[in-house]
Amino acid sequence: MNLVDRAGTATYVETDEFAKKAIREAARWCNAVTVASSADKKFSYIPEVRAEDLPQNAAYLHITVNNTLFGTQYHRLPQLGVPLVGDLSSAMLGQLYDIEDFVLIYAGAQKNMGPAGVTVVVLRRDLLRDLPEEVPTMLDYKVQVAGRSMHNTPPCWGIYMTGLMLDWILREGGVEEMARRNNEKSGLLYEFLDNSTFYTPTARPQDRSNMNITFTLPDEALSDLFAKGAAARGLINLKGHRLVGGIRANVYNAMPIEGVRALLAYMKDFEMEHRMP
Amino acid sequence: MNLVDRAGTATYVETDEFAKKAIREAARWCNAVTVASSADKKFSYIPEVRAEDLPQNAAYLHITVNNTLFGTQYHRLPQLGVPLVGDLSSAMLGQLYDIEDFVLIYAGAQKNMGPAGVTVVVLRRDLLRDLPEEVPTMLDYKVQVAGRSMHNTPPCWGIYMTGLMLDWILREGGVEEMARRNNEKSGLLYEFLDNSTFYTPTARPQDRSNMNITFTLPDEALSDLFAKGAAARGLINLKGHRLVGGIRANVYNAMPIEGVRALLAYMKDFEMEHRMP
């Protein structure tokens, strides 16, 4: 609503359920065109956007930078001359990106930044413009900037907690250090998965997320058993999203490497017990 | 957006700055008609809506039930046959109202209910309908009801804290008891003000708020002095809103009667010191 007129065109890359939601929402407002999709292979990879598939008049190209459900992540951003808009909800502060590559990014705080109920938006100031009157004032970024994000009473506690988290990240070594840790944690898991004949990683190697590691077991009944047994050891929330199945290990900033080591130990035990003879 | 089409008409009573904001916002969407206003007397009273001023086709009549800046409050709701919509942001749980008198009420939690960042909406289910596609999904009450208020990740902490507040209110005796306490607290202040020749209450007696008590001193310089001296005694936030001037004492549910007694003692001392001989 802030970047494109009702008669305008916006382009989207379809990489998971959240990308789909963004596309559906944009389609209510403007001409929303899906220019690349990995739906053909269960969203297991980041699809390339080809310049010839981009409409001439696209106001922006929208990507979902980290795809929590399917465990994929952009490691190389599209550079096609069209302004890039990024949903960084689960990528922000957990992997290194160059803010200069985007004209606008937005991110729900609840993965790596703070409690649910806060959303961070960073945009290039020259994009601010007067919006049509059917756009609600609360969604008007020009108004929010003018009101220093306090046009309405802000969710003070969530902002305060996010501030404490940002302080902590800085003390720990900044986003560089967070990315290093997440790469280390996810790297241990991917290395194990790549050498396993029991577990199968689902995301294409060059597109793997450093925060959501997805894999399958020989069958879904075993996946259920795996998740239940893990929970009994205090390793929780490992069941893949109901739309995806399999197993998903989340190693956001808050997860210490000890959690990953405990998971690896459990994976070895589980395989010993359940491997077909 | 949920109750009226873009070509439709909605009616509003203008009783303070927040009512004005609501009118301006509605005017972006539909034909918003102000059918009564107390702007002529600095919003010091609740204006009557006359049936003959209501357009035939009004989708609803919107009122701001408690007006924090000017210290007025509805004690008798308009009964004109047109569906009533209420902003109860500062009235909810602090005074008794019959939910059956409204088709929709909404209230920011941050006065009597919980922390900033939560808004409560109660509406008659038969009002839910399919909305035009330019209405953002997040503002679509039908979607919110279908998603049990969790269509998006909810602000969990704010909802949890609001739940604790609701438990506390129930334990203390419910809204009846909260209203009784607020009437007692505000009653002590109004009684003192009505018998004073130094302080002047600003709201019309029959329209006085039981949570925001507004009054003036002989001049604004004295008001400033009053607020500063009060702060030195730990009585804070007494300065009237910058748009209004004077003094405003807020006695929301969280304020114990001891706070009111301390304010009254200070008011007597201040008057002794500053009364013209």
Chain B residues within an 8 Å CB radius of A25: 136-137
Chain B residues within an 8 Å CB radius of A115: 155-157
Whole-number mean pLDDT of chain B? 96
- Contact assignment for A156 to B116 by CB distance below 8 Å: yes
**What is the pLDDT, as a whole number, of residue B265?**
98
**What does the radius of gyration of chain A's CA atoms come to, in whole angstroms?**
20
Angle between helices B174-194 and B257-274 (to 10 degrees): 10
A9-50 confidence digits (pLDDT tens): 999 999 999 999 999 999 999 999 999 999 999 999 999 999
Q: Model confidence at B277, in pLDDT bands (50, 70, 90)?
A: low
Q: Are B253 and B184 in contact (CB under 8 A)?
A: no
CB atoms under 10 Å from CB of B110, counted, come to: 20
**What is the pLDDT, as a whole number, of residue A277?**
65
Please give the single-letter amino acid code of residue B242: R
Question: What mean pLDDT is predicted for residues A241-251?
Answer: 89
Report the Cα A103 to chain-centroid distance in Å: 18
Give me A102's structure tokens: 């985007």
Task: Tell me the C-alpha distance between B236 and B239, whole Å.
Answer: 8
Q: Are A182 and A210 in contact (CB under 8 A)?
A: yes
Residues of A with CB under 8 A from a CB of B: 1, 6, 25, 28-29, 108, 110, 115-117, 133-137, 139, 153-158
On the question of pLDDT at A184 being above 70, the answer is yes
B40-61 confidence digits (pLDDT tens): 999 999 999 999 999 999 999 9
Task: Tell me the C-alpha distance between B116 and B217, whole Å.
Answer: 32
Chain A residues within an 8 Å CB radius of B134: 6, 28-29, 134
On the question of pLDDT at B249 being above 70, the answer is yes
**What is the pLDDT, as a whole number, of residue B150?**
95
Give me A191's structure tokens: 């290395």
Whole-number mean pLDDT of chain A? 96
ipTM score here?
0.91
A154-170 confidence digits (pLDDT tens): 999 999 999 999 999 99
Question: What mean pLDDT is predicted for residues B5-27?
Answer: 97
Question: What mean pLDDT is predicted for residues B150-165?
Answer: 95
Task: Tell me the C-alpha distance between A267 and A40, whole Å.
Answer: 30
**3-state SS record for chain A:** CCCCCCCCEEEEEECCHHHHHHHHHHHHHCEEEEEEECHHHCCCCCCCCCHHHCCCCEEEEEEECEECCCCEECCCCCCCCCCEEEECCCCCCCCCCCHHHCCEEEEECCCCCCCCCCEEEEECHHHCCCCCCCCCHHHCHHHHHHCCCCCCCCCHHHHHHHHHHHHHHHHHCHHHHHHHHHHHHHHHHHHHHHCCCCCEECCCHHHECCCEEEEECCCHHHHHHHHHHHHHCCCCCCECCCCCCCEEEECCCCCCHHHHHHHHHHHHHHHHHHCCC
* Out of A28, A115, A157, closest to residue B134 by CB: A28
Chain A residues within an 8 Å CB radius of B151: none
Task: Tell me the C-alpha distance between B216 and B194, whole Å.
Answer: 12
- Contact assignment for A156 to B115 by CB distance below 8 Å: yes
B111-129 confidence digits (pLDDT tens): 999 999 999 999 999 999 9
**What is the pLDDT, as a whole number, of residue A243?**
76
CB atoms under 10 Å from CB of A161, counted, come to: 18
Give me B116's structure tokens: 């900033």
Instruction: Count H helices and E strands in chain B, helices first.
Output: 6, 11
* Out of B110, B137, B139, closest to residue A153 by CB: B110
